[in-house]
Amino acid sequence: MKYEVVIGLEIHVQLKTKTKMFSAAPYNYGAEPNTLTDPVVLGLPGTLPVLNYTAIEKCAELGLMLGCKIADVCKWDRKNYFYPDSPKNYQLTQNEQPLCVGGSIEIEMPGASRNIEGAHRWVELNRIHLEEDPGKLTHTAFDSLIDFNRAGVPLAEIVTEPNLYSSSEAVAFLNALRNLIIFSGISDCDMEKGQMRCDANVSLRPKGLETLGTRTEMKNLNSISNVKSAIEYEMKRQAEILDSGDKVIQETRRWDAAKNISLSLRSKEEAHDYRYFPDPDLMPVVMDKARIEVLNQMLPERPFDRQRRYQKDYDLPYTITSVLCANHQLSDFFEETLGLYNAPKAIANYLVNDLLRELASNSEQGASALSLSETKLKPQSIAELVEVVESGLISKQIAKEVFVEMFASGALPKSIIESKGLSQSNDSSEIEALCLEAIANNPKAVGQFKDGNIKAINALKGPVMKATQGKANPAILDELLQKLIESGE
């Protein structure tokens, strides 16, 4: 392609607060329509907004996580436009002075393969500001219905600089941002529930040119794969326009995920004049610098920092750390388990391999994998499992069986081993009798072993394991078989 794409993203994230930004009405996803409202949320005549300080703190925390400068004063503006999902026909937002300015986020580009770490780079942010979410419209064949439950939920709008240069970079950015926000506990960023939404500004320019081309803004991108598709669609559309010698029109476009196309929503000329002005109902809030410093000291670890720490301190490979640190629950679970039993590699292996497998296979048909919090598994379970394997109480083979049982019932490994009689047999005399039997029944394998084919010993181990239901200690068994074969010469 002879063009370079330049992408800027605007991401709306619902902050996890108990109540709305300007009223005491509660919010939770999925409630009966119009049950989470009050006169303020509905914009009834005479009502006034009252600031929820938690929303400011959470937004400031996000800003600190991203290295933004936190404004000295938190101010509010009215953005005026008529739309039926907006109870007051203006939105309280921060136009003139965002709470957080600048900042950047570390992203990881896709590697050459899934197992290979990709290059890291930093994406510059322009600003993060707070605003209130509007209600939600549902259009039926004859009616349009409004649910004001969502109205007034605090949103942080994160605006990047136009410095993403491919659709995959945009995806990498969104994954990194989403993961960082989830790590910080500020939002769950569940895009299916509308907790994170994205608009993309896309423009093309001839490769090598500094000046930006005419951009279009894509709205309604409610999954990361939509963002990728929409950007790629727009790149192709704009390239065709430019190739034909035409000019790209600055406009807002709506992504239709069902049809995989974007449609013009309104041109620059039809753009709203939002008539911003400072909201006279809310007083500017002077930010408490000491409090900001406290928040700064208490910031959670950023996911990539955690990943580097795991690689450095525990010598864990990228294939493990990339999985652990892409999942906040899993990573925290790892740390808790590690606190109980210090065996990072073994613990990480159980989590990344066995646990993730169980989570995937135990979910409903077609549904996404279970989340860790939906299971009965405790860090104590994994710690104990690693301990019993390392102490030789059970084999790794048996451990897999114990894991499945402990995932299903929530019981601790030792009680499973006891109730099922799974403990490893270290009784040499019993194993010796079985070994002799195996040697007698497999002269061929014995011969091969003697000829130097060490692997042939496995054919002898099999029957012993089968007879002991896998409980024979493999180390003892190995040693015993070799000794018996050699002494049998």
Partner 1 sequence: MSDLFYSNISELQAGLNNKTFTAVDLMQSVIERTEAVESEVNAFISRDIEDALKQAEASDKRRLAGASLGALDGIPVGIKDIMAVKGQPLRCASKMLESFVAPYDATCIEHLKASGAVIWGRLNMDEFAMGSSTENSAFSQTANPWNLDCIPGGSSGGSAASVAAGQTIVSIGTDTGGSIRQPAALCGVVGMKPTYGLASRYGLVAFASSLDQVGPFARTVKDAAILLESLVGYDPKDSTSLNRPKENYSKALEQPLRKLKLGVPSEFFGDGVDPEVKAAVEKAIDWYRSEGHTIVEISLPHSELCVPVYYIIATAEASSNLARFDGVRYSHRSSDAGNINELFNKSRGEGFGEEVKRRIILGTYVLSSGYYDAYYLRAQKVRSLIRNDFDQAFEQVDAILTPTTPTPAFKKGEKSDDPLSMYLSDIYTISVNLAGLPALSLPVGMTQEQLPIGMQIIGKAFGEADILSVAHAFESNHEFKDLRPNLDNSKQ
Task: Write the DSSP symbol of residue 32.
Answer: P
The pair of three-digit structure tokens given for residue 384, joined into one six-digit string: 């104990």
Closer to partner 1 by CB, 30 or 46: give it: 46
Closer to partner 1 by CB, 142 or 315: give it: 142
CB of 125 to partner 1, least distance (A): 26
CB of 81 to partner 1, least distance (A): 9
Q: Which stretch binds partner 1 (CB under 8 A): 1-9, 41-49, 236-244, 441-449?
A: 41-49
Q: Which stretch binds partner 1 (CB under 8 A): 8-16, 47-55, 302-310, 349-357?
A: 47-55
Closer to partner 1 by CB, 79 or 302: give it: 79
CB of 48 to partner 1, least distance (A): 5
Q: In the window 184-223, what residues touch partner 1 (CB under 8 A)?
A: none
Among residues 3, 42, 463, 484, the one that binds partner 1 under rule CB under 8 A = 42
Question: Reduced to 3 states, what is the DSSP secondary structure of residue 190?
Answer: coil
Provide the b/e sequence for 237-261 (b: ≥16 CB within 10 Å): bbbeebeeeeebeebbbbbeeeeee
Half-sphere exposure of 192 toward its Cβ, with a 13 Å CA cutoff? 3
Q: Which stretch binds partner 1 (CB under 8 A): 42-50, 204-212, 214-222, 300-308?
A: 42-50
Total residues at interface with partner 1 (CB under 8 A): 29
- Per the listing, tokens 């860790």 go with 372
Is residue 86 within 8 Å of 105, Cβ to Cβ?
A: no
Q: In the window 243-302, what residues touch partner 1 (CB under 8 A)?
A: 273, 275-277, 280-283
Could you tell me the CA-to-CA distances from 297 to 61, 102, 162, 289, 294 in Å, in that order? 10, 20, 30, 12, 5
Is residue 333 within 8 Å of 379, Cβ to Cβ?
A: yes
CB of 188 to partner 1, least distance (A): 29
**Counting contacts by CB under 8 A, is residue 421 touching partner 1?**
no
Among residues 31, 44, 73, 116, the one that binds partner 1 under rule CB under 8 A = 44
Closer to partner 1 by CB, 282 or 330: give it: 282
Among residues 41, 51, 227, 398, the one that binds partner 1 under rule CB under 8 A = 51
CB of 264 to partner 1, least distance (A): 18
Task: Write the DSSP symbol of residue 327.
Answer: -
Among residues 16, 20, 58, 78, the one that binds partner 1 under rule CB under 8 A = 78
| Contact map string, positions 123 to 162, toward partner 1, x by CB under 8 A | ---------------------x-x----------------
Quick one: which H or E segment has residue 217? strand 216-221
Among residues 2, 31, 50, 305, the one that binds partner 1 under rule CB under 8 A = 50
Among residues 39, 206, 339, 462, the one that binds partner 1 under rule CB under 8 A = 39
- Per the listing, tokens 């994954």 go with 175
DSSP secondary structure letters along 338-390: HHHS--HHHHHHIIIIIIHHHHHHTSPTTSPPPPGGGS---HHHHHHHHHHHH
CB of 176 to partner 1, least distance (A): 35
Name the nearest CA neighbour of 85 among 140, 135, 139, 48: 135
Closer to partner 1 by CB, 90 or 314: give it: 90
Is residue 93 within 8 Å of 129, Cβ to Cβ?
A: yes
Closer to partner 1 by CB, 38 or 117: give it: 38
**Counting contacts by CB under 8 A, is residue 87 touching partner 1?**
yes
Query: Measured in whole angstroms, how far is the alpha carbon of residue 29 from the centre of its chain?
Result: 19
CB of 302 to partner 1, least distance (A): 35
Closer to partner 1 by CB, 3 or 276: give it: 276
Neighbours of 142 (CB within 10 A): 5
Closer to partner 1 by CB, 20 or 78: give it: 78
- Distance separating alpha carbons of residues 86 and 152, to the nearest angstrom: 9
Name the nearest CA neighbour of 94 among 73, 78, 71, 72: 78
Name the nearest CA neighbour of 317 among 182, 325, 337: 325
- Distance separating alpha carbons of residues 438 and 164, to the nearest angstrom: 65
CB of 399 to partner 1, least distance (A): 58
The strand pair at 251-256 and 216-221 is best described as parallel
CB of 279 to partner 1, least distance (A): 8
Query: Measured in whole angstroms, how far is the alpha carbon of residue 440 from the centre of its chain?
Result: 57
Closer to partner 1 by CB, 43 or 392: give it: 43
Closer to partner 1 by CB, 42 or 484: give it: 42
Closer to partner 1 by CB, 130 or 200: give it: 130
Closer to partner 1 by CB, 243 or 281: give it: 281
**Counting contacts by CB under 8 A, is residue 34 touching partner 1?**
no
Largest CA distance in the chain: 101
- Distance separating alpha carbons of residues 57 and 182, to the nearest angstrom: 16
Q: Which stretch binds partner 1 (CB under 8 A): 79-87, 304-312, 318-326, 346-354?
A: 79-87
Question: Reduced to 3 states, what is the DSSP secondary structure of residue 288?
Answer: coil
Beta strand segments in 148-300, E = 154-160, 196-206, 216-221, 251-256, 261-267, 277-278, 285-286
Closer to partner 1 by CB, 37 or 195: give it: 37
Binding site for partner 1 (CB under 8 A): 39, 42-51, 78, 80, 82, 84, 87-90, 144, 146, 273, 275-277, 280-283
